[in-house]
Structure 1
Amino acid sequence: MFVSLSFAIVYASRVDILADELAQARARGAVFSVLGRQAPWGLQFSGTRPLTAHLLLKGNGWIELPDADPVPLRAHDVVLVTAGTPYRLVSAVGVPAEPIAEARSVGSETDADAVILCGAYVLEGSIGDSLLRALPRIAVVESDQLAPRHAAAISLLAAEASSEGPGQQALLDRLLDLNLVYTLRAWWSRPDAEPPGWYRAGADSNLSRVLQAVHADPAKPWSVTTMAELAGMSRAAFSAHFTAVVGQPPARYLTALRMRRAEDALTRTNAPLSRIATAVGYRNEYAFATAFRRHHNTPPARWRREALRRT
């Protein structure tokens, strides 16, 4: 299974939790169209992909959704769209739009005054679902809000899209990976955003230290007491603070993390339950099966069979 190098970043002294979550979700992006269009232009999307990115590399436009006000877009604005109803990217509100599949078959128009890049991300498993739930239907990071490195990456993406050369698709895909990390950073830093609890905890040095250690080695015999000691807090104060910032008690967070790692092992390896049990922090297969059944309402062996049947 291919995993984008952009997300497989593990430091010797600590774990980058965002990189870890994206790697565990097998997050990867692929550019599926770069289209030049003359106004008036419009592109229609089904809205069924779990996560799609759009960038106006050149020109201005609008994004239209049913039952929502149109959102203006400028050159180098970044848009993330999660799954839902159909939507449109258009040069002006109300202009006709062609289905994206037809637009791709036609290709780019000459002397285009707009260049639209569309990319799709794959995020798998419960970690991917958790990341998607932390995003609204449409997240727009405007060009003047981009961090300098993000703006530089988009400029590089625009330059690469406007030329041809060996390995171009691989370069565009990897630049799209970078765009996701930068866009998540930018969006979740907004005061109106609702980032995952572990992301909010990154701004707290005590909690961040604990989460980095737990993600680096979830199989370690963690307890609320050992986590509190690592945070330099009393057990009661740590538990209350962790719950307030992260959104769930530390023991429940640890269990959920172990279950996500177990899901990954169940679907991507042939390892026996006994080996998976010890790898994710349980004394034996029976303790693991009990915890897994409590979390998923089904035994791990049955969950594995059903998950593999769906793939």
Structure 2
Amino acid sequence: MFRGVRAQGSLFGSSTLTAPWSLLFVDGAPLTLCTVLEGSGWILPEGHPPEYLTAGETLILRGPAPFSFVDEIGTAAEPIECGKECATPDQGGTRHRLGWHDGPHGGPDGATTLVTGAYPVQGEIGGRLLDTVPDILRVAPDGTADAVRTLLAAEVAVDAPGQQIVLDRLLDWMLVCSLREWFDRPGGEPPAWYSAHRDPVVGQALRLLHDDPAAPWTVSSMADRAGVSRATLAKRFADLVGEPPLTYLTRWRMMIAADLMREREAATLAEIAREVGYSDAFGFSAAFKRIRGVNPTEFRRALVELPDADNLPERVAASSGR
């Protein structure tokens, strides 16, 4: 789940700001991480109350609605639109561009340094992680993420080859640490697939399925690898994950297949079938329709007609009158 969500170079922004300022983020990213390295400011999410951020605090926002970062509510600053192609305006002391920093210490006294990472979450696997995240997730300035913030602050102040790659990966690291801390918080309700990874038996079985989904798995072969009986694995897996091991495997394979159809337009259904553990396209098509409600051909056609649609299988089924 985490592997499919990554910051990408053109979507990274660093801003060192002196009041008044107003940045309007309009790129519509499905997920955006905002962390204040120095100073403070207000995040104004569309449709939600304002969120005040001080140094060391992080906010994760679900898109695609735009949001603003301002020095104060009701600021007199004119909004500056920031997105994939954000320019470098000088307006009221506010400047913003990709990978830019203002001096060795981040800027003048009293300045605020904001780092944002936009995540173009795509496909079935990334979407499953996105479904577990609330519209706004606040991360406290402590825990593992705090160490990543220290590295971010140091890297933002360095203009060196490879900086963009380092910043992207640091943002990925912070996102994963932030989500783990949120899942593990007292009284939290993490998704079943996350909690189950902590179980020594079911976690091992899940890693096997994720690492090699095309293998000819049976409950017995998974149980042998996990070092328990078939009955023990079947019961613990169903109790912790919410469905039997082979049902989970089939759903996982169909998620991978759906993403492969998005990413590789030239691949045949037979090629995709083999990559997810089916010897022929017929058996794969039957399994895909059973799990997703539409056959692979209909799904692939909808990718062309509705490339940005949410709940694509349901949209295809509705358009087909089912």
TM range (shorter): 0.7 to 0.9
- The structure with the largest helix share of the pair is 1
Which whole-Å CA distance do the structure 1 matches of 2:288 and 2:39 have between them? 51
Match of 2:239 in 1: 244
SS of 2:201's partner is helix
Match of 1:138 in 2: 136
Which whole-Å CA distance do the structure 1 matches of 2:197 and 2:128 have between them? 17
Q: Which runs of 4+ in 1 moved over 6 A?
A: none
Q: Is the 8 A contact 2:253 2:276 kept in 1?
A: yes
Find the partner of 1:70 among 50, 69, 88.
Answer: 50
Q: Is the 8 A contact 2:201 2:233 kept in 1?
A: no
The answer to whether structure 1 residue 39 and structure 2 residue 19 are counterparts is: yes
Tell me whether 129-138 or 256-265 shows the greater mean CA deviation: 256-265
Q: Which runs of 5+ in 1 are unaligned?
A: 1-20
TM-score, normalised via structure 2 length:
0.77
Please report how far the alpha carbon of residue 54 of structure 1 lies from its aligned counterpart in structure 2 after TM superposition.
0.6
Tell me whether 299-308 or 92-101 shows the greater mean CA deviation: 92-101
**Closer, same or farther: CA 266–70 of 1 in aligned 2, 3 Å:** closer
Match of 2:69 in 1: 89
**Closer, same or farther: CA 68–121 of 1 in aligned 2, 3 Å:** closer
**Closer, same or farther: CA 98–116 of 1 in aligned 2, 3 Å:** farther
SS of 1:298's partner is coil
Please report how far the alpha carbon of residue 232 of structure 1 lies from its aligned counterpart in structure 2 after TM superposition.
4.9
Match of 1:291 in 2: 287
Please report how far the alpha carbon of residue 268 of structure 1 lies from its aligned counterpart in structure 2 after TM superposition.
3.0
Q: Is the 8 A contact 1:84 1:137 kept in 2?
A: no
**Between Structure 1 and Structure 2, how many residues are aligned?**
287
**Closer, same or farther: CA 301–114 of 1 in aligned 2, 3 Å:** same
Match of 2:157 in 1: 162
Q: Which runs of 5+ in 2 are unaligned?
A: 96-106, 308-322
Please report how far the alpha carbon of residue 95 of structure 1 lies from its aligned counterpart in structure 2 after TM superposition.
3.2
Match of 1:128 in 2: 126
Q: Is the 8 A contact 1:62 1:73 kept in 2?
A: yes
Q: Write out aligned runs for 1:1-311 (5 A).
A: 21-23=1-3, 25=4, 27-30=6-9, 31-46=11-26, 48-65=28-45, 68-96=48-76, 98-101=78-81, 104-106=87-89, 108=94, 111=108, 113-144=111-142, 146-147=143-144, 150-232=145-227, 235=230, 238-269=233-264, 270-308=266-304
Please report how far the alpha carbon of residue 35 of structure 1 lies from its aligned counterpart in structure 2 after TM superposition.
1.3
Please report how far the alpha carbon of residue 310 of structure 1 lies from its aligned counterpart in structure 2 after TM superposition.
5.0
Which whole-Å CA distance do the structure 2 matches of 1:216 and 1:236 have between them? 23
SS of 2:239's partner is helix
